[in-house]
A and B are shown apart, each in its own frame.
Chain A
Amino acid sequence: MAAKAKTTAGKKTQSRGTGRGAISIRNVTKIYDPEGVNVMAVDNCSMEIESGEVCMIVGPSGCGKTTLLNVIAGFHSLTFGEIYLDDELLCGPDKPLADQGADRMVVFQNGALFPWKSLLDNVAYGPIVQGVMSKSDARDKARDNLAEAGLGEVADKFPGEVSSGMARRAEIVRALINDPKVLLLDEPYRAMDALTKSIMHESLLEVYDRTKVTIFFITHDLEEAIFLGDRVVVMTTRPARTKKVVDVKIPRPRDYKLLSSEQFRVLVEEAKDAVHEEAIKAFEAGERELA
């Protein structure tokens, strides 16, 4: 996998991006009121994500990072502020809820492949319902894309019949067939063991090197964040604010050998304290996660 990643890799990080998929988050605040009490999930958060950047959001569980993703994806409305995608307003004061669309594809925490469709039909679903491809074209392309991701053999199986790693990979294939501007990942590898995780990381990097799609990736795993990201944003516990930004200037393509390098360890050290501090705060607050 690593060797393959090297051969298909792009040039250098500075030529990164396809010129689309830049997200501008400006002073976003989100207040929930479950049971009549206002709870601030995100507090005045601003962030500029460049086209083709891998932006990793790290914070303790339940800190409001998923809320931010849900606002971008159009699952939740925002309370104040505005979000732009390629200079077009997604949501703002006059339009608190963004439209859901295939330009921002979400990969969910627990996986959301439709269990009643085969992997192939799952992948072909997007282009078919959007009306951009005929049924047979979509299925042909889906089969090609699955084969490219090493899932050719299991394309006709149902998600319940394959391993969670394969299912997650198929979910990314399902997202990418729609040629999204941004890939939004919400702790996609949370429930996986370390070995599967490392395989998933390399396959995601391989996908990134090939497509240069903008990635907005939520995690609470700092090493995962640094391994994958161009930039790691450490968030405070609820309400979520930007606490620390770490630029990861490690050239791509990257492989797992990086994990034992000096450069990597220095970066982890740099961000560790910030993350740990917030984790303690979150633990002591003991609040339940918001959906």
Chain B
Amino acid sequence: MTDQAISGIDTSKAQAAPKGLMYAWHRLKKSFGTPTPYLMFFGIVLWLGTYYLLTEGWKVPRFEKIPGPVEVITEFFSYDPIWGTSLFTEDFHTNVYVSCRRIFIAFALATGLGVPLGLFMGWSRKFKDYTFPILETLRPIPILAWVPLAIVMFSGFETPIIFLATLASFFVTTLNTLLGVESIDESYFRAAGCLGSKKHHVFWHVVVPGAMPFIFTGLQISIGVAWFSLVAAEMISGDYGLGYMIMDSYMVNKYVSMVMAMISLGFVGWITSAMVRWGGNRMMQWRVKALALEGR
């Protein structure tokens, strides 16, 4: 730090914006000046404390069977788990890996199909007229209602589960992409026309980037929905995966493992969401920068 930093805020000359790690440090330092980190910490403590008191502390009726935080955490980090599953056992790794692989495939398929479909629907009136009624009829069908059909249609354990997860996130992605295209201001299309764009230029330079903010909002929701339907599907027909682990542990009264699987789902889901968000920010620097200037 220079002495300028000590004497106060330096606005005398153009400062180089901090980059990379320095930027992260700058943000971190700044955030400790706001109530946010303290409130977050307090919130977590409050939540964990309530959980502890209900289950292990006061052993409130109906909660006594539920494994408490101390038990779960001890088991989670144990090299020699009582119930046979912890962070260091192979079956846990397999379950996490299998679920993540399914999500990856399902999300990739849903994005690969949903984004182009939504873009074309928004771009071409005719194409939308063909496809929209069908999409709108299929979309409200709850994913669980598809389960029997998926099992009949696909063989094995893997494909029906991936199908269900894909389907759920496909609808979300398509609809959001479509809304994204429709949200683009007419004047961008007009400007593109004035500047001598051909149809494919308009598609690549206006439709695609213009819909991007909505697409990524959609993708964030879609990856959540994918996890949701994946777990539902794994609970019904699966041989591995975190959803399967929950159901399997429940069947054999291994409640500790069940809660571990739930917590793992929370963390993995969070990480995948963050990855989508990160990808979106990488692709939309123009938006990140404009929002930053508005103080967001």
Contact = CB atoms under 8 A, between A and B. Distances in A.
Interface of A: 73-75, 100-102, 104-106, 108-110, 112-118, 125-126, 129-130, 157-161, 174-175, 178, 291
B21 interface: no
Interface string B261-296: 000000000000000000000001111011001000
B79 interface: no
Contacts of B205: 114, 117, 125, 129
Interface stretch (B89-97, B107-115, B117-125, B191-199): B191-199
Contact of B196 (A112, A160, A178, A291): A178
B42 interface: no
Interface of B: 185-188, 190-198, 201, 205-206, 209-210, 212, 284-287, 289-290, 293
Nearest to B294: A160
B190 A112 contact: yes
Contacts of B191: 106, 108, 112-114
A174 B192 CA distance: 11
Nearest to A161: B289
B187 A112 contact: yes
Contacts of B289: 157-158, 160-161
Q: Interface SS of chain B: helix, strand, loop or mixed?
A: helix
Question: Which 5 A-B pairs have CB atoms at the shortest separation, nearest pair first?
Answer: A160-B290, A100-B193, A116-B209, A112-B191, A130-B196
A125 B293 contact: no
Nearest to A110: B187
A126 B192 CA distance: 8
B195 A126 contact: yes
A184 to B, nearest CB: 9
A91 B116 CA distance: 36
A108 B191 CA distance: 8
B293 A114 contact: no
